[in-house]
Structure 1
């Protein structure tokens, strides 16, 4: 019973913190306002800290409450995700799923996975946007977005790391024969570089020092290209050095079309994350796809 009461307290707290009202939380949960208030109060007593400031007008989160809310939401999402995986075996998903992902990775890695899910659930329809532009899922009505690297400006969004992969610096054999192979990070400044183009976002490559600590360098923006696949193609064509996720260049390295350089200074990990708008009830189709992607990430199926 104690464990059940703890879980009830967490659910009541998350609902009250999301709606900023005990009354609205009670209506949502189908219980009385008093039950929600007492459940949250017992949770605060057990934790030894205030999670919510009460006033006659509304509730506000304390600093401890903000931190705890993020952890609780993640835990409840994990529980719901586990249930969804089991339910999906016997239920058909339906409705339109709007997904946004980086262009090259989306075509090569994500699209086949989504196609398999859509075939398993004929009632599920897809709207897939493949672009290297960073979007706001809330403003653009996107159910699920995939992002590489650090996630910023995530107010109103939930972020879940799916996997990570290495960032490699590559060039064609012809380019290296003509211009020489860089030996140090500083040598990058003497080379032509192909960088991703995003308005108002500075270009930076992730490298490591001799102790393995990751830091950023700004390469010469010799060629600015706003599409990942085009960056890889440009590197193969001999336009210069490029830093790309390993999943997009590994096949070309194995074939000899590209050569990895500065390997002792590269290989920094890039997070691949799923991002979706914060809602009180996550759509089953979004939850199912996120869980499928997370499982694929654990198996190494999202690139390495």
Structure 2
């Protein structure tokens, strides 16, 4: 009884009853990018939006937004507060949806990040099917090979291909697997020779993927299936697999890429697969999303479709 009484007393205090005042207006302002756009989105006047932000800053005792006549930007404190507020608003919208089962249709903006190499052949058909089935969802796609922060960058789901995921509190669900190959053009092999063991790569020109944690150390399996690392000599560091492939095809070096990034070149016989007598390491493809007890309908529908499509789609 004591804890319940204390909780009731705390909730009835003036401070806590105003805990969420201005949060929705603040997140809408940042999402809209201007006071005018936020006013139009909420149906309020710009003066109302401004007053709500002023009251929020006064209550928190910090400045959240730097304002100029033409733009607005978040202060460091404002950025931290915004990241938390976005989650609060999303959770509130989800809770409201749970109370209204007829509103469980996927809707709203779905923010997805995916590597460029996976976007066309793999992701595009799935997105096309998703958009046809859920027309009330607006897709915001970030097709980029850079490493993103799912929470801070505001993504609902991130698709990543990797040999091994880093430890994280995020939910990681494997959707498919493929093989990674070390390749070179036939012109390169003719000019520089073909290495017979991964350790010989340090004597060759190699094209390295800079987004890896150790881009100049390539992982292999020996003939007994044991993992070992080979140090390579980089003639180029690049954060885009398409560029790596193009440079390899032009004979500028040896690269190591997942098969799905270069399947047409392999099928056309334009690349020689090196170390073919060694076991080829797997590259797993995951969908990564924030750890939440209840996923929003749009995220759940997207993940379900990924899993459904991937069950009949295998990477080479």
Same-fold status (TM-score > 0.5): yes
Q: Distance in 2 between matches of 1:184 and 1:228?
A: 23
Q: Tell me the CA shift for residue 131 of structure 1.
A: 1.3
| 1:20-31 aligned within 5 A | none
Q: Is the 8 A contact 1:99 1:127 kept in 2?
A: yes
TM-superposition CA deviations, 1:142-198 (whole Å, max 9, x none)? 00001122221412x111111111110111111111111111112211111111113
Q: Is the 8 A contact 1:196 1:225 kept in 2?
A: yes
Residue 154 in 1 paired to residue 168 in 2?
Answer: yes
Choose the corresponding residue for 2:194, options 145, 160, 181. 181
Q: Distance in 2 between matches of 1:289 and 1:135?
A: 19
Q: What SS does structure 1 have at the residue aligned with 2:168?
A: coil
Q: Tell me the CA shift for residue 139 of structure 1.
A: 0.6
The aligned residue for residue 135 of structure 1 is 148
The aligned residue for residue 74 of structure 1 is none
TM-score by length of 2: 0.63
Q: What SS does structure 2 have at the residue aligned with 1:169?
A: strand
Q: Tell me the CA shift for residue 295 of structure 1.
A: 2.3
Q: Tell me the CA shift for residue 92 of structure 1.
A: 4.9
TM-score by length of 1: 0.66
TM-superposition CA deviations, 1:193-219 (whole Å, max 9, x none)? 1111138x2213231112022333232
Choose the corresponding residue for 1:272, options 285, 297, 303. 285
Aligned residues: 213
| 1:277-292 aligned within 5 A | 277-292=290-305
Q: Is the 8 A contact 2:105 2:297 kept in 1?
A: no
Q: Distance in 1 between matches of 2:308 and 2:145?
A: 24
Q: Distance in 2 between matches of 1:136 and 1:282?
A: 18
Residue 231 in 1 paired to residue 213 in 2?
Answer: no
Residue 110 in 1 paired to residue 110 in 2?
Answer: no
Choose the corresponding residue for 2:134, options 92, 98, 121. 121
| Runs of at least 4 residues off by over 4 Å | none
Choose the corresponding residue for 1:202, options 191, 210, 214. 214
For structure 2, list consecutive stretches of 5 or more residues without a partner in the other structure. 1-6, 8-100
The aligned residue for residue 14 of structure 1 is none
The aligned residue for residue 83 of structure 1 is none
Q: Tell me the CA shift for residue 224 of structure 1.
A: 0.6
Q: Distance in 1 between matches of 2:263 and 2:112?
A: 25
Choose the corresponding residue for 2:312, options 280, 299, 303. 299
Residue 262 in 1 paired to residue 275 in 2?
Answer: yes
Q: Distance in 1 between matches of 2:180 and 2:262?
A: 10
